[in-house]
Chain A
Amino acid sequence: MTLKKVNAIEVKNVTKVYRSSNTETRALRNANLTIYDNEFFTLLGPSGCGKTTLLRLIAGFEDITEGSINLFDQEIVNLPPNKRPVNTVFQQYSLFPHLDVYENVAFGLRRLKKDESLTKKRTMEVLELVQMKDYATRKPNQLSGGQQQRVALARALAPEPKVLLLDEPLSALDLKLRQAMRYELKTLQRETGITFVFVTHDQEEALTMSDRIAVINEGEIQQIGEPEQIYESPSNKFVANFIGEANLLSGFCKTNGENGLCELYTGHSINLFVPSHIKQNDKVTIFIRPERIKIVKSSKDKSQLSISEFTYLGNAATIQLKSNEQIINVNLPIEDLKVFKKGDYVDIEFPKGSAQVID
């Protein structure tokens, strides 16, 4: 199936510098990315990485320092926020406290000068969509956090934006509600067909909801890809560490190429693809997820690896292996919980395709 992808948003060479009287902060450095129509796209990164800045640049709340942003092939950098067909869901919802739920949701439609019957129809429609129809006459301060969240969503969806921008909308909710809202948001995106640009620092949120993710750190885009790509083959150490748990093991290269060979300082050899710029005896860092490592029982005279920590998690356990100053984290599947204990000598195996040389 080859569907031609339509570009919803193109961010081209965008740089944003915040200047105050004596300091200059570079919030974004030469960012490039393309978001497709009808996509759930996530900007993921630690706080202060520039992800919210990028969102605010798309919304028009900040002036761009350099670069351009296109929305469906139209340059929007010079348009004020009210002229951009995108709407935002704010982190703290920012509902208008003096207006009731109905007027909050109808606000955008009224500014667009839609006629009264259409405004009413559309407002009730989106309130129905977020299951808040019964609360139309309430004021925002009479609603719970989750309900305010729904109203904020409805308010942003009502004018039928081409792109919906969501700035950490789930971070103020408690855990259970947050998990429930993830599925609702994902369903909502699929049903409405609107492009969602979602900002979060929560990697689990990003992995479960997104079609594609852009990982950002210190104002630079580190990697763009589908959740699987990002998780399975991170492009650098930052991405590997930020998303999920990662082992970054030191070793050196023996042969490079498609069927390369590296030796870890623990003495283990790994068969894996080694890029050609790495030569024999070069130091390398090998990335492998804790759950991909297999462990087998061994004895003191055969192995230097012993279990130094054993953390029981209920449905699994994490163990820490120590050898030659290297620490290796391994996730133990539930059927092996009873087999191993702290202090045991073990050996490890790396299944083919589980490890990767990383910069």
Chain B
Amino acid sequence: MAQVIVVTSGKGGVGKTTSSAAFATGLAQRGKKTVVIDFDVGLRNLDLIMGVERRVVFDIVNVIQGEAKLNQALIRDKRVDGLSILPASQTRDKDALTREGVQGIIEELSKEFDYILCDSPAGIEKGALLALYFADAAVVVTNPEVSSVRDSDRILGVLQSKSKRAEEGKEPVKQHLLLTRYDPARVERGEMLKLDDVLEILAIPLLGVIPESESVLKASNSGNPVILDSDSPAGQAYADAVARFLGEEKPHRFIEAEKKKGFFGRLFGGRAA
């Protein structure tokens, strides 16, 4: 039975799709059969971030409406074994998604995959509600910024009241915080909310901190999920987060500002990557 994970945030532009692409790729790299579904019907973008935009033939709405079989709509990744992408429709509106349709797709995918990642659209309307409805676990993507933290809190409330698990009175959806675009230097200067502040306010377990990193833009430019850039801090931070999700103990990195090097450090230390 596959585990369903929703990647959500409430607010737009905080890194849901970047995180979904990285997380799905990371799970597949670790040998887990993983499918990542774009729920942003009308504004699909996961295909671009995954670099498969030229290969999209059918989408989730075609499958729901019986115009294509699920395995015809799945795009198999050419870089990582066991990774598939189910694109959103670009031309239909979000009412084309139905709960019954999504349920059918998730049930069918459960037979083949270990993990089903649902990349939620922003907001708390139909697409976002359907993306989280069937979730067993949630990765709440948050920026250290007031509006993002508030919207994350809002989406946590929705998870606790409107998910299938909540409606059926089952064990609640397991919540994980993924703090993205974190800049320890700005935190140190008192310009940005601290990790501890965000944790105190949202009060859910921390899955990982992704530092603000140039590699994220480079990754989206080229359509390679940033986790494939294993030299970059963001890529490493995502790999750590995936490991933690799978139960490994990993100390948190990239949460302290890099110390200014002393004379000898500058002389012999080289430049930190």
A and B are partners in one complex rather than unrelated chains: no
B contact residues vs A (CB 8 Å cutoff): none
A contact residues vs B (CB 8 Å cutoff): none
